[in-house]
Amino acid sequence: MGLKLTEDKYDFDQFDPLEEGWYILRVKKAPAELKDGGLKVKVEAEVEQGPMAGRLHFENFSTRTNDGAENGIGCQSLLAFILKAGIAKKGQFSDSAEFETEKFAVNLSKLAEGKLYGAYLTQEPYKSKDGSDKKATRAKKYRTVAEAQAEMGKGKAAVPVDGKKAAAGNSSDWD
């Protein structure tokens, strides 16, 4: 059996880019795979609180460019994401080659799910395949939940809906 469809749903603004600003996000999933000599990660996160709560944000990380060269921005962004989401500890990874292993890909996919983090999201224009102008939401800054809330002016650590604070990564989890 397929999806249950409703005939009264006509508005699909949930696909519009999120407005620019700070958000607290919870990772729903982060499949990681080794492909074309590098690591590719596709993070699906959900806005945790505020007027956009429940909306999805998608973030992609790649350690290699399309031509196979090292992707410095992609690697630094991935490191910032895993540190601020509490997936890894500061000092745990110091070389991008450490990201390009099967062990890292498997552990990242497993450890990322459910983690909370803060991100400053912006809208960036791009051309779609049909040549039309579109906008995509992209994270420009990563923060812990407490840091993001301080940026938002709240100044104290978040306690998510489930009543648990965002946990710090544990290096033994990578074993």
Q: What is the pLDDT of residue 50?
A: 83
Q: What is the pLDDT of residue 175?
A: 58
Q: What is the pLDDT of residue 49?
A: 87
- Are 117 and 25 in contact by the 8 Å Cβ rule? The answer is yes
Give residue 28's pLDDT band: very low, low, confident or very high (50, 70, 90): very high
Mean pLDDT estimate for the chain: 85
Judge residue 127's burial from the number of C-beta atoms within 10 Å of its C-beta, 0-12 exposed, 13-18 middle, 19 or more buried. Answer: exposed
Question: How do residues 72-119 score in pLDDT, each as one tens digit?
Answer: 999 999 999 999 999 999 999 999 999 999 999 999 999 999 999 999
Q: What is the pLDDT of residue 165?
A: 46
Return the SS3 of 124: strand
Provide the residue ranges of all domains of the chain, joining segments of one domain with +: 17-159
| Contacts with 174 (C-beta within 8 Å, 6 or more apart), sequence order | 88, 92, 103, 104, 107, 111
Q: What is the pLDDT of residue 157?
A: 42
